[in-house]
Chains A and B, each alone.
Chain A
Amino acid sequence: MISSAPPPPQPERPAGIVVSGLRKTFGSGSAAVTALRDVQMRVEPGEVVGLVGPSGSGKSTLLKCLGAVLTPSGGHMELGGQLVFDGDHWLHPDLTRLRREQIGFIFQSPYLLPFLSVRDNVALLAMLLGRSNQEARAAADQLLADLDVAHRADAMPNRLSGGEQQRVAIARALINRPPILLADEPTAPLDSPRAMAVMDLLERLAGQMGTSVIVVTHDEKILPRLQRIYVVRDGVVGEGQRERVRDAPVRFRSRRLRNT
């Protein structure tokens, strides 16, 4: 569980994610395919926002742009109050460093490094930021304790259950207290109680750390847990309401959403 101790005071933070006029086109000329059109988004610190839409609608493309692994074709993007993309180029000189310092990632599968212990999986990113091994491991232990997997700190990832692995992955994403957290279907492999537990964690950690969280999901049962929802359809992103998403026509909902 999350530590009951009061969280350390956070400095005043600007909006976590601000996207305006973002677009992405693959190819050129007659073969050009527009994946994102004039995306407008704003996610405040501590807010947990959903990103839903059918397969092929552009969710992953948007996530890749927000994660600084895909260069948009135009628009502006601020992450953690810092303008990182302006018009047609990245302003940050080192996107790897940008991701390391500003963005946490959670995936559908935990993708823990199988050759590192749970503790080192979490501590790795802190070490990359220049913290000593001892400091990084101590921070990892604290976070693992918060996520109730401290007792598995010395275990190798393949010894953990799916839920435990996902919690470790969340710990890894949060070890550097990033202002942005991008979660790509984090509850997909989990049953309902475990999915709710993960959402509990995300909500609490986002609140404690002031992290802006974007959750890409097809999972209908977690929709009520999201503070706002952005709906992506044919590359157009609009803010939607949970009820409307749930009641949307079948063609709008992905096969996975239908199955759920």
Chain B
Amino acid sequence: MINLAWPDSRHNWGKLLITGCGLGLLVGVTVSMAGVYRGMVEDAEVLIGGSGADLWVVEQHTLGPFAEASRIDDDLHRSIRQLPGVRRAINGSFQTLLIQRPGRSLRVLVAGVEVGVPGGLGQPPGLVAGRSLLRDRDELLADPGTGLQLGEVVPIRRKRFTVVGLTTRMVSPTGDPMLFVPFRDGQDLQFLPGNEAIARQRRRRDRPVERQALTNAVLVQLEPTARPELVAAEIERWLGLTAYTRPAMQAAMVGKLIEASARQIGLFLVILTLVTTTMIGFIVFTLTQGKLREIAVLKLIGMPSRLIAWMIVQQAVALGLFAFVLGTSLATVMAPRFPRHVVLQRRDLIAAAVVALASSSLASLVGVKAALGVDPAEAIQ
């Protein structure tokens, strides 16, 4: 049987190409937004999983240190270390602040961690250049996304740090690149007041300001035989803190911190899908309206309605597939240039293909309805 969809599409190629390109951009945006969400989840998993911590101990009843402020005494890690099943416990400070770069300011998440080797507790999982932190002060590991170079001296508040290593990709749950500094420096950046603040407080209280010995979280590594839930329960019972296992921490990150972004992205995805469906429906309807006379003639001379409907469905689905291929290709090409980490997963691409096919098939019903409504008698004046 002759295929009518392809010759008709070839005849209307300009209209279909422009529509397909527009739809492709929409699909590209849709896929990219899904990729941004996946990137956020992946970053969160790297942040939590890559730290090597089996438990995250934070201030009681908080979701710290990323989703909520958490402050605990910086000597509690010693108490935690005494509990059965705990192999190691270290302090960790986490603070978001702005650093100045040539011509711009850059928001970063500064993690204060104890000196150690890459992949160790609290350390970034790996380095792409340079070395790990060796000194207790003034050294810095940077995510390549900061644009910092090895050996570069970076002023942060009252301190100056030298970049000694570049980490593999490490970003905060909100996408800010991370810096790793020695814990004491991280503590100072967060809790040590500036000169003006010290002077002001002295004037107000007429007594010296005491340095606060605080940290945001304690990262705990357990013995291989220890059960994280039991140790977490022990910590909460005896020390009045909140302890999250790794899965609980990841769930808290994804569920609470990324939830708002996920909802926004989800809403955008729904809107974009509706827009895509509407556009395909509109163009298919317009194309059908443009050939009502031909359809009436086709019906009159004996073309079965199902073949006419099939032609319209084929065109709509081809339009959807074209948009999918163009959109995913654009998303793949643009992903590395995107300001956020974009992860294009196969399951998302399959889902996008299914949605494109479903929405284009659905949209074709508008044209099919219009075509089926044509009376063959209209061909006779």
B300 and A115 within 8 A (CB): no
Whether, in the assembled complex, B11 has its beta carbon less than 8 Å from a beta carbon of chain A, the answer is yes
Whether, in the assembled complex, B381 has its beta carbon less than 8 Å from a beta carbon of chain A, the answer is yes
A99 and B11 within 8 A (CB): no
Q: Report the minimum CB–CB distance from B375 to chain A (whole Å).
A: 7
B381 and A125 within 8 A (CB): no
B303 and A69 within 8 A (CB): no
Interface size class of B (residues with CB under 8 A): 20 to 34
A100 and B301 within 8 A (CB): yes
Neighbouring B residues of A97 by C-beta, 8 Å: 302, 304
* Residue interface bits B271-302, CB-to-A below 8 A is 1, else 0: 00000000000000000000001100111111
**Given A111-B297, A116-B7: A69 in contact with B302 (beta carbons within 8 A):** no
Q: Which B344-381 residues have C-beta < 8 A from chain A?
A: 375-377, 379-381
**Given A96-B304, A128-B303, A184-B381: A69 in contact with B293 (beta carbons within 8 A):** no
Q: Report the minimum CB–CB distance from A67 to chain B (whole Å).
A: 7
Q: How far is the CA of A35 from the CA of B303 in the complex (A)?
A: 28
Partner of B300, one of A67, A120, A123, A133: A67
Q: How far is the CA of A120 from the CA of B6 in the complex (A)?
A: 13
Whether, in the assembled complex, A164 has its beta carbon less than 8 Å from a beta carbon of chain B, the answer is no
A123 and B298 within 8 A (CB): no
Q: In the complex, identify which listed stretch (A73-81, A101-109, A146-154) lies at the interface while the others stay far away.
A: A101-109
Q: How far is the CA of A114 from the CA of B13 in the complex (A)?
A: 13
B379 and A107 within 8 A (CB): yes
Q: Report the minimum CB–CB distance from B319 to chain A (whole Å).
A: 16
Q: How far is the CA of A185 from the CA of B380 in the complex (A)?
A: 10
Q: How far is the CA of A111 from the CA of B303 in the complex (A)?
A: 14
Q: How far is the CA of A113 from the CA of B296 in the complex (A)?
A: 11
| Chain B residue with the shortest CB-CB distance to A117 | B7
Whether, in the assembled complex, B10 has its beta carbon less than 8 Å from a beta carbon of chain A, the answer is yes
| Chain B residue with the shortest CB-CB distance to A184 | B380
Q: Report the minimum CB–CB distance from B273 to chain A (whole Å).
A: 30
B1 and A60 within 8 A (CB): no
Whether, in the assembled complex, B8 has its beta carbon less than 8 Å from a beta carbon of chain A, the answer is yes
Neighbouring A residues of B379 by C-beta, 8 Å: 105, 107, 111
A69 and B2 within 8 A (CB): no
- Most chain-A CB neighbours within 10 Å: which of B8, B11, B300, B376? B300
| Chain A residue with the shortest CB-CB distance to B376 | A69
A70 and B7 within 8 A (CB): no
Whether, in the assembled complex, B305 has its beta carbon less than 8 Å from a beta carbon of chain A, the answer is yes
| Chain B residue with the shortest CB-CB distance to A63 | B380
Q: How far is the CA of A123 from the CA of B1 in the complex (A)?
A: 10
A101 and B302 within 8 A (CB): yes
Whether, in the assembled complex, A246 has its beta carbon less than 8 Å from a beta carbon of chain B, the answer is no
A115 and B10 within 8 A (CB): yes
Neighbouring A residues of B299 by C-beta, 8 Å: 96
**Given A100-B302, A128-B303: A64 in contact with B377 (beta carbons within 8 A):** yes
Q: How far is the CA of A125 from the CA of B123 in the complex (A)?
A: 74
Neighbouring A residues of B381 by C-beta, 8 Å: 60, 107-108, 184-185
Whether, in the assembled complex, A83 has its beta carbon less than 8 Å from a beta carbon of chain B, the answer is no
* Residue interface bits A167-195, CB-to-B below 8 A is 1, else 0: 00000110000000000110000000000
Whether, in the assembled complex, A257 has its beta carbon less than 8 Å from a beta carbon of chain B, the answer is no
Residues of A within 8 A of B (CB): 60, 63-64, 67, 69-70, 96-97, 99-101, 103-105, 107-108, 111, 113-116, 120, 123-125, 127-128, 133, 172-173, 184-185
19 A-B residue pairs with CB within 8 Å: A67-B300, A67-B377, A69-B376, A97-B304, A100-B302, A100-B303, A104-B301, A105-B379, A105-B380, A107-B297, A107-B381, A113-B297, A115-B4, A115-B11, A115-B12, A116-B2, A127-B1, A128-B303, A128-B307
User: Which A-B residue pairs are the 6 nearest by beta carbons?
Assistant: A100-B302, A115-B11, A69-B377, A115-B7, A115-B8, A111-B297
Given A111-B379, A115-B8, 6 additional A-B pairs, CB 8 A: A67-B300, A67-B377, A69-B377, A105-B297, A127-B1, A173-B301
